[in-house]
């Protein structure tokens, strides 16, 4: 799970430093795997092109003089960008700077006989986008000589945490902020989502034919949208966590997936034929998914279909046919609940790994199904305009919260630490639990976003990870007299002594099979029916050995063919039942 520091602070009001946040995350069980402080972008500075003249030996190159704002004389740069001109302000990289987009470390060099002392960079060269038709062109008031990363808000550290499968609530930036706030590192903010009054009913209806696979489905149509690029801040956040911006509508679904742990899907309403049906796939049914691959489905899988066929693999990936593009004017926003086990099995069978599957197979917050559509609606209206209809909700019967009986004394019993009752209940409350009662045993209502909580031991874990597992003192193991007493049996002592005695005489221990051929067993007094195996691993290993000698003789024959050796062996032998 990746997120940027500024993204976290959208939901966490705190003065804590990056180092303090990283340390606290690991302390409360959200182990930080990596922090990218964006140091690689620090060498890029804002610079102004003073002059731009034609290269004497290349039609498509210009020779620039560039003021880097450091008080030193302008530097000469050879540039091939068509928009390079006098007065342009852009991002400059000096010799020695690593350019991530082209995987090159700059050095002073000659281009067609003219020395170049650096580079004026394009967005692709800084991995900001795929744009490479020209160099970055900044506004006139961009401060020359200052950090380009700071000016463009690209110096936002990226934090990556390692999540255990039982923490679906932490697959969202908001959930991580909630944990940090509960630990006392700040105040949780930005959680309110206002509903939108729609104009008319949603014309597309939803029928759920497989309620065991889909316990809830919410849908809203937004008409008259204009789908273009998403805002720069949103693109930068998606790029920072490794996602490629596509369009405003698609970027909104990715943003809500990471911001609130609520995967969504958008359909181009013009490409949907009739109403939507949630059903099991038909055997051999196929769908062309958004990754460009065609998948063959089975009845164990759940799909969203219309009159034309499958439009989406439920909880995993949408279909290419009904995807949104620059021509989309009416969009259907879908938010649903999918069975975690079915989602996981389908993903493994088809070999699809997606952010949606990652969350649905762990369990998403059922109570955020409808608010997820409301949040996406707000973003669509902000970025793309349009008019929303009322929301269509099918199948959802509401969440029945789990109530756990929680004896406060369990904290001391399981951890050895006395946590005051007020502190323990305060921790649970800040995490979203609802303790009820005032005695030594309280009833605790589990929030909808914590499907992993199953009993009182889980509540103890929640209290302790916020209280601080580092407060659990190390306890030495109690010494027991039995440790100093006799451990080995008399037979084990004699066997070890015999092995040592034979080893010092140059013997090599041979470990042989307990199973031998019937003919060998008969030669040494075996072969009885009681010593025959009912299911031998091989035809020539059908009898339990009556003596160690058959195996040692067979091993000696093998050794004799390659050289000489002295062999000994120890182990069990079996005798038939003579009674």
pLDDT in tens, 202-251: 999 999 999 999 999 999 999 999 999 999 899 989 988 989 999 999 99
Neighbours of 118 (CB within 10 A): 24
pLDDT in tens, 85-132: 999 999 999 999 999 888 999 999 899 999 999 999 998 898 888 888
Mode of pairing for the β-strands spanning 508-509 and 441-445: unpaired
Whether 517 has a pLDDT exceeding 50, the answer reads yes
Mean pLDDT, range 260-265, rounded to an integer? 96
With cut-offs at 50, 70 and 90, classify the pLDDT of residue 557.
confident
Q: What's residue 193's pLDDT?
A: 93
8 A C-beta contact, residue 216 and residue 222:
no
Angle at 408 between CA 403 and CA 411, to 5 degrees: 110
Residues with Cβ within 8 Å of 9's Cβ and at least 6 positions away in sequence, in order, are: none
Q: Report the C-alpha gap between 50 and 485 in whole angstroms.
A: 89
pLDDT in tens, 190-202: 888 999 999 999 9
Mean pLDDT, range 524-551, rounded to an integer? 88
Q: Which domains does the chain have, with CATH numbers?
A: 2-35+158-188 (3.30.56.10), 40-151 (2.40.50.140), 206-394 (3.50.40.10), 403-471 (3.30.56.10), 487-568 (3.30.930.10)
Q: What is the mean pLDDT of the chain?
A: 91
With cut-offs at 50, 70 and 90, classify the pLDDT of residue 530.
confident
How would you label 436-469 residue by residue, b for 16+ Cβ within 10 Å and e otherwise?
eeeeeebebebbbbbbbbeebebbbbbbbbbbee
Quick one: what percent of the chain has pLDDT higher than 90?
A: 71
Q: What's residue 182's pLDDT?
A: 96
8 A C-beta contact, residue 250 and residue 305:
no
The distance of Cα 359 from the centroid of its chain, to the nearest Å, equals: 9
Q: What's residue 579's pLDDT?
A: 40
pLDDT in tens, 153-175: 888 899 999 998 899 999 999 99
Q: What's residue 564's pLDDT?
A: 67
pLDDT in tens, 564-578: 667 667 777 778 765
Neighbours of 564 (CB within 10 A): 7
Whether 301 has a pLDDT exceeding 90, the answer reads yes
8 A C-beta contact, residue 36 and residue 22:
no
How large is the angle between the packed helices 232-240 and 248-260, nearest 10 degrees? 60
Q: Report the C-alpha gap between 159 and 2 in whole angstroms.
A: 6
pLDDT in tens, 379-412: 999 999 999 999 999 999 999 999 999 999 999 9
Q: Which two tokens stand for residue 127?
A: 């991995």
Q: What's residue 134's pLDDT?
A: 92
With cut-offs at 50, 70 and 90, classify the pLDDT of residue 62.
very high
Say if residue 390 is exposed, middle or buried (CB neighbours under 10 Å; 0-12, 13-18, 19+): middle
Which of the pair, 383 or 528, is modelled with greater confidence?
Answer: 383
């Amino acid at each position: 799970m990746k997120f940027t520091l500024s993204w976290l602070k959208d939901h966490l009001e705190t003065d804590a430093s990056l180092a303090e946040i990283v340390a606290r995350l690991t302390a409360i069980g959200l182990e930080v795997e990596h922090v990218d402080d964006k140091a690689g972008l620090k060498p890029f500075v804002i610079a102004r092109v003073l002059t731009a003249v034609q290269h004497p030996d290349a039609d498509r190159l210009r020779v620039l003089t560039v003021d880097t704002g450091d008080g030193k004389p302008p530097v000469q740069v050879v540039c091939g960008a068509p928009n390079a001109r006098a007065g342009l302000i852009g991002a400059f990289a000096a010799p020695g700077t690593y350019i991530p987009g082209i995987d090159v470390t700059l050095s002073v060099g000659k281009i067609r006989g003219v020395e170049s002392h650096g580079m004026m960079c394009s967005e692709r060269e800084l991995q900001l986008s795929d744009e490479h038709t020209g160099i970055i062109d900044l506004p006139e008031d961009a401060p020359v000589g200052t950090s380009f990363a700071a000016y463009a808000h690209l110096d936002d550290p990226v934090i990556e945490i390692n999540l255990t499968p039982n923490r679906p609530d932490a697959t969202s930036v908001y959930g991580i902020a909630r944990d940090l706030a509960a630990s006392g590192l700040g105040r949780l903010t930005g959680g309110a989502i206002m509903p939108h009054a729609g104009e008319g009913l949603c014309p597309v209806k939803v029928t759920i034919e497989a309620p065991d696979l889909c316990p809830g489905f919410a849908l809203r149509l937004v008409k008259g949208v204009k789908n273009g690029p998403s805002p720069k801040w949103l693109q930068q956040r998606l790029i920072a966590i490794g996602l490629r911006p596509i369009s405003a509508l698609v970027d909104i679904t990715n943003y809500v997936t990471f911001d609130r742990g609520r995967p969504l899907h958008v359909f181009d309403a013009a490409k949907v034929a009739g109403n939507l049906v949630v059903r099991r796939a038909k055997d051999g049914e196929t769908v062309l998914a958004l990754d460009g691959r065609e998948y063959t489905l089975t009845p164990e899988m759940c799909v969203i279909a219309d009159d034309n066929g499958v439009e989406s693999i439920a909880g995993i990936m949408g279909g290419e046919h009904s995807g949104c593009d620059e021509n989309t004017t009416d969009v259907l926003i879908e938010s649903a609940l999918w069975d975690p086990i079915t989602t996981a099995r389908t993903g493994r069978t088809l070999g699809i790994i997606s952010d949606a599957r990652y969350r649905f197979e762990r369990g998403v917050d059922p109570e955020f199904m409808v608010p997820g559509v409301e949040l996406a609606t707000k973003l669509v209206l902000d970025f793309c305009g349009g008019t929303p209809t009322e929301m269509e909700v099918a199948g959802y019967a509401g969440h029945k919260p789990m109530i756990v009986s929680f004896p406060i004394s369990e904290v001391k019993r399981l951890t050895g630490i006395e946590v005051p009752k007020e502190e323990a209940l305060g921790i649970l409350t800040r995490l979203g639990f609802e303790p009820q009662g005032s005695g030594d045993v309280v009833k605790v209502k589990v929030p909808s976003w914590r499907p992993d909580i199953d009993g009182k031991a889980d509540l103890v874990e929640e209290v302790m990870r916020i209280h601080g597992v580092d407060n659990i003192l190390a306890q030495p193991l109690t010494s027991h007299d039995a440790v100093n007493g006799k451990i080995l049996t008399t037979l084990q002592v004699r066997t070890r002594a015999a092995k040592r005695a034979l080893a010092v005489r140059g013997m090599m221990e041979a470990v042989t099979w307990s199973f031998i051929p019937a003919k060998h067993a008969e030669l040494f007094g075996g072969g009885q029916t009681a010593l025959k195996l009912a299911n031998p691993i091989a035809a020539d290993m059908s009898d339990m050995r009556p003596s160690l000698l058959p195996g040692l003789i067979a091993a000696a024959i093998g050794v004799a063919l390659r050289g000489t050796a002295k062999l000994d062996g120890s182990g069990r032998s079996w005798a038939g039942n003579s009674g």
